[in-house]
RNA sequence: CGGGGCGUGGCGCAGCCUGGUAGCGCACCUGCUUUGGGAGCAGGGGGUCGCCGGUUCGAAUCCGGCCGCCCCGACCA
């Protein structure tokens, strides 16, 4: 591709509203442009990257027996009502001219299962893996960071159909194989982490996380351990409790309502406090008092999974009516169920500090079990430095680039996707679903590999393998030699971008570094006289061996490319 | 949805407080010079100042309403 004809609007300055690196560089390098909140257009160079990611995914999905299909984005809302998903907040809804209710697909479990319900009759029709690359519409509460979280995006979504749980395990394992290869080939640093299965039930799920500063998730990492912080468990760091006493002692803590104030006033570590967090079940309406250590935070995902329903923080009025004065509540004497985090329950010690359920007062010397009844559960968020297998945990922000999910019969049952087994018994198909966001692969790659000058693509994702820069404005020997080299590369099937613009050397180099093709070949007066062009890898400042012009050029470039990642 | 911020040529911004000819840098067009790290000189084109309404002789500027976009949080099967 010649840059004189390419639509590549590079910018010297970052857009004022861009924060994330992938957002800034995506716009500056001319890959993407914004149409509206969470709505992004892929320009030619950016789309080439996206399609390279798609190509890798397609190859690996085919390699595990996946079959590619294409399902409409526009769908009857009724289908979604049948699975109880006709009213989701994130769902784009519309009507056709006849007034029929339609939705834009957020994902494609419903239509996929709908088809399979009609097409699968017998256990002989299973297993199957079907996938597609298709647009998803999600009315996100807050789109952000360029293409990282958008309201419309392309997802590779795959669905597995098996006769039983063992079959699902096999399909699930195949996807792990494919996904591991996909993210390796894309050149990402990634982790496969345990993730929340949500309220959908199912027997487990994993997310593929690419660490990067703009990530919206947090992953907890230790050797041999990787989990989304939403579900991560670890051994807490110890805390020195004050000496126990025979019975709780009331102490005056006037106006002291925060953990810091109380621990400072009493001269005890924050971790010696029992932080009381009253929650109300969204469906049951039941109030529960959750206790975590004063230096810990309640993990709402783990809490929700433990209680079996979503929860919200209790309102001050509810707290005052059922437990005690806000700021001074505690488990002792509280007439509500108490859930104590394992970091408290497992110590078996006394000496804790808790609210006294009386204004301006706390209790010291509190001992769980003796002074109040509780149910023990792991409901806290892990902290950096907590131990897993004796090794301190670290926590990193990451982008979710893919997920794999055991669905079970969540969709096959309501949509009547069944088959007859050998015994003639009708059974629901056991399903899995598996997503990957190619745009997030591109964004995560930018985040992980960019430097001060711009993007640095791995060969697997680069929009072009070679960026040929002709120096010298207008016609001249450099331009002629570069022209010949460019044509040779094209003829040899090497994807090359040719900077044939009448621009200064600095501008051409700056644009080449911004765009980040793996190999830059410069044809300039300096080396032309000796009959060669200069080669520069994007990732290193080291000048590579020169490329001879003429017959050996293609072979030399091929060699250089082989040395680059 | 709560909090904060911003809307002025393609991009980045000033002007608004204190109403009176819409400005700067980059980019763009023409010519000449220049040509290995975002060139110089000269000339030139391009803006409903987000939208609607109000105040005023006069509104980018003041007032009201609306819309859009960004950031933080909530949220994100």
Q: What domains, with CATH codes, occur in chain A?
A: 21-71+108-211+401-446 (3.30.930.10), 249-381 (3.90.960.10), 466-563 (3.40.50.800)
Q: Is the pLDDT of residue A315 over 80?
A: no
Q: What is the pLDDT of residue A564?
A: 84
Average pLDDT of chain A to the nearest whole number: 87
**Can you read off the two tokens belonging to residue A112?**
């996929």
A38 touches strand B (CB under 7 A): yes
Answer whether residue A259 shows pLDDT above 60: yes
| Strand B within 7 A of A143 CB | yes
A471-509 pLDDT tens trace: 877 778 888 889 999 999 999 999 999 998 888 888 899
At A57-88, the pLDDT tens digits run: 999 999 999 999 999 999 998 888 888 888 88
**Cβ partners under 8 Å of residue A369, min gap 6:** none
pLDDT band at A432; cut points 50, 70, 90: very high
Residue A401 in contact with residue A319, Cβ under 8 Å?
Answer: no
Per-residue model confidence (pLDDT) at position A299: 83
| Closest nucleotide relative to residue A435's CA, C1' based | B77
Give me the CA A16–C1' B23 separation in Å, rounded: 20
What integer pLDDT is reported at residue A412 of this predicted model?
92
Mean pLDDT of A429-433: 94
Q: Which nucleotide is nearest to A507 (CA to C1')?
A: B38
Judge whether residue A272 contacts strand B, using its CB and a 7 Å cut-off. no
Query: What is the SS3 assignment for A478?
Result: helix
Query: Which residues from 350-389 of A have any strand B atom under 7 Å from their CB?
Result: none
- Which comes out higher in pLDDT, residue A376 or A400? A400
Q: Which residues of A369-382 are buried (b: 16+ CB within 10 A; e: fewer)?
A: eebbebebbbbbbb
- A264 pLDDT band, cuts 50/70/90, is confident
**What pLDDT is attached to residue A182?**
96
Quick one: CA dihedral A447, A448, A449, A450, positive or negative?
Answer: positive
Q: How confident is the model at residue A100 (pLDDT cuts 50, 70, 90)?
A: confident
Q: Which nucleotide is nearest to A19 (CA to C1')?
A: B71
Confidence of residue A197 (pLDDT cuts 50, 70, 90): low
Span CA (A12) to C1' (B12), Å:
9
Establish whether the CB of A514 is closer than 7 Å to any nucleic acid atom in strand B.
Answer: yes
Q: With 90 as the cut, is the pLDDT of residue A163 above it? A: yes
- pLDDT greater than 90 at residue A468: yes
Could you count the other beta carbons within 10 Å of the beta carbon of residue A405?
24
B25 C1': nearest CA residue: A13
Question: What residue is closest to B35 (Cα–C1')?
Answer: A472
* Predicted ipTM of the assembly: 0.88
User: Is the C-beta atom of A343 closer than 7 angstroms to strand B?
Assistant: no
The pLDDT value given to residue A130: 96
pLDDT at site A61: 97
The percent of residues in chain A predicted with pLDDT above 90, rounded, is 38
Separation in Å, CA A307 to CA A10, A121, A228, A380:
52, 39, 20, 14
Dihedral angle over CA of A314, A320, A324, A330, nearest 10: 10
Please state the rounded mean pLDDT for residues A524-537: 86
Which residues from 399-418 of A have any strand B atom under 7 Å from their CB? 403, 405
Cα–Cα distance between A445 and A451 in angstroms, integer?
12
Distance A34 CA to B59 C1' (A): 32
Query: Is pLDDT larger for residue A565 or for residue A185?
Result: A185
A142 CB and strand B closer than 7 A:
yes
Nearest Cα residue to A344 out of A371, A376, A373, A370:
A376
pLDDT at A167: 93
A15 is written with which tokens?
């857009």
Give the 3-state secondary structure of residue A183.
Answer: helix
- pLDDT of A541: 64
Sheet with A532-537: list strands edge to edge.
A496-499, A466-470, A519-523, A532-537, A543-548
Which of the nucleotides lies closest to A88 (Cα–C1')? Answer: B77
Q: Does the C-beta of A145 come within 7 A of strand B?
A: yes
| CA-wise closest residue to A305 among A235, A374, A233, A379 | A379
Cβ atoms A361, A274 nearer than 8 A = no
Which nucleotide C1' is nearest A142 CA?
Answer: B75
Mean pLDDT on A255-280 = 80
Q: How far is the CA of A564 from the C1' of B39 (A)?
A: 34
- Indicate if the pLDDT at residue A280 is higher than 90: no
Q: Chain B positions under 7 Å from a protein CB?
A: 1, 5-6, 10-13, 25-26, 34-39, 68-77
**Percentage helix, strand, coil for chain A under 3-state DSSP, each rounded to 5:** 25, 30, 40
Q: Which nucleotide in the DNA or RNA is closest to residue A148, CA to C1'?
A: B76
Token pair 């985040």 is at which residue?
A447
Q: Output the distance from A327 CA to B3 C1' rounded to whole Å.
A: 23
CA A13 to C1' B13, in angstroms, rounded, equals 12
Model confidence at A542, pLDDT cuts 50, 70, 90, reads low
Banded model confidence at residue A460, pLDDT cuts 50, 70, 90: very high
Report if CB A305 to strand B is under 7 Å.
Answer: no
Cβ of A509 near strand B (under 7 Å)? The reply is: yes
Nucleic strand B near CB of residue A215 (< 7 Å): no
Work out the pLDDT band at A517, boundaries 50, 70, 90: very high
According to DSSP, the β-strands at A496-499 and A466-470 are parallel
> Of chain A residues 428-457, which have a beta carbon within 7 Å of strand B?
433, 435, 453
CA A242/CA A246 separation, integer angstroms: 13
What average pLDDT does range A394-422 have in this prediction? 91
């Amino acid at each position: 591709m010649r840059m004189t004809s390419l639509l590549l609007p590079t910018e010297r300055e970052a857009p004022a509203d861009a924060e994330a690196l992938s957002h800034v560089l995506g716009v500056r390098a001319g890959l993407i442009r914004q149409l509206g909140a969470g709505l992004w257009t892929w320009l030619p160079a950016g789309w080439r990257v996206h399609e390279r990611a798609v190509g890798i995914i397609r190859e690996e999905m085919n390699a595990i027996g996946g079959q590619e299909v294409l399902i409409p984005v526009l769908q009857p809302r009724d289908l979604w009502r049948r699975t109880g998903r006709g009213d989701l907040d994130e769902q784009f809804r519309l009507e056709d001219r006849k007034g029929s209710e339609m939705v834009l697909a957020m994902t494609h479990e419903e239509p996929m299962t709908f088809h399979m319900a009609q097409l699968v009759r017998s256990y002989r029709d299973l297993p199957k893996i079907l996938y597609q690359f298709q647009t998803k519409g999600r009315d996100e509460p807050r789109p952000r960071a360029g293409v990282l979280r958008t309201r419309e995006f392309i997802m590779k979504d795959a669905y597995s159909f098996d006769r039983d749980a063992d079959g699902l395990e096999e399909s699930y394992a195949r996807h792990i194989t494919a996904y591991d290869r996909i993210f390796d080939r894309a050149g990402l640093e990634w982790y496969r982490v345990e993730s929340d299965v949500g309220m959908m039930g199912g027997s487990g799920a994993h997310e593929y996380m690419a660490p990067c500063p703009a990530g919206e998730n947090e992953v907890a990492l230790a050797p041999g351990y990787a989990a989304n912080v939403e579900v991560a468990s670890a051994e807490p760091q110890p805390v020195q409790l004050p000496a126990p006493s025979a019975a709780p002692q009331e102490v005056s803590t006037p106006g002291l309502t925060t953990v810091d104030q109380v621990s400072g006033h009493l001269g005890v570590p924050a971790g010696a406090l029992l932080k009381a967090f009253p929650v109300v079940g969204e469906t049951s309406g039941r109030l529960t008092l959750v206790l975590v250590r004063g230096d810990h935070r309640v993990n709402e995902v783990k809490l929700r999974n433990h209680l079996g329903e979503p929860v919200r923080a209790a309102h001050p009025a509810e707290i005052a009516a059922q437990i005690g004065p806000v700021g001074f509540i505690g488990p002792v004497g509280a007439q509500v169920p108490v859930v104590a985090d394992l970091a408290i329950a497992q110590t078996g010690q006394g000496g804790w500090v808790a609210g006294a359920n009386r204004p301006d007062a706390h209790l010291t010397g509190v001992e769980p079990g003796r002074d109040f009844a509780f149910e023990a559960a792991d409901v806290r968020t892990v902290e950096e430095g907590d131990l897993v297998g004796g090794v301190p945990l670290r926590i990193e922000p990451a982008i979710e680039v893919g997920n794999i999910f055991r669905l079970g019969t969540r969709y096959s049952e309501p949509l009547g996707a069944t088959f007859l087994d050998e015994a003639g018994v009708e059974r629901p198909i056991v399903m899995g679903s598996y997503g990957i966001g190619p745009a997030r692969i591109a964004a995560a790659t930018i985040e992980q590999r960019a430097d001060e000058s711009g993007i640095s693509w791995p060969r697997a994702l680069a929009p072009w393998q070679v960026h040929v820069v002709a120096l010298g404005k207008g016609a001249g020997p450099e331009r002629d030699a570069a022209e010949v080299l460019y044509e040779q590369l094209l003829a040899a099937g090497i994807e090359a971008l040719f900077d044939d613009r009448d621009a200064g050397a600095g501008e051409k180099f700056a644009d080449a570094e911004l765009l980040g093709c793996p190999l830059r070949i410069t044809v300039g007066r300096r080396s032309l006289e000796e009959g060669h062009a200069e080669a520069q890898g994007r990732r290193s400042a080291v000048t590579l061996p020169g490329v001879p012009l003429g017959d050996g050029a293609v072979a030399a470039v091929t060699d250089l490319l082989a040395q680059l990642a």
